[in-house]
Amino acid sequence: MLTLVPAPAARLRCRHCHLTITEQELGADCCPECLEQFKIRRRDFEAIASGGGEPVRYRCETCGMIIDV
């Protein structure tokens, strides 16, 4: 039996330091890299396109093999 592997979460990129992070990791907070490096709370992010041509992934429940279609 095959199980559909979910696509990776949407990613955001800081427009200042270019850190790439998922929305779940960021939450509603500022860029952690800008805060640590520059002591500035920046919340200016751009969404990164997922590249619609990515293959669909399935995983075999028996052997664990990943199949890209």
pLDDT tens, residue order, the chain (69 aa): 778 777 777 789 999 999 999 888 887 789 999 999 999 999 999 988 765 556 778 888 889 888 887
Q: Which helix (H) or strand (E) segment is 46 a member of?
A: strand 45-48
Predicted confidence at residue 40, as pLDDT, reads 92
Whether residue 47 contacts residue 35, with contact meaning beta carbons closer than 8 Å, is answered with no
Placement of tokens 């619609």 in the chain = 52
pTM of the entire predicted model: 0.60
Whether residue 64 contacts residue 34, with contact meaning beta carbons closer than 8 Å, is answered with no
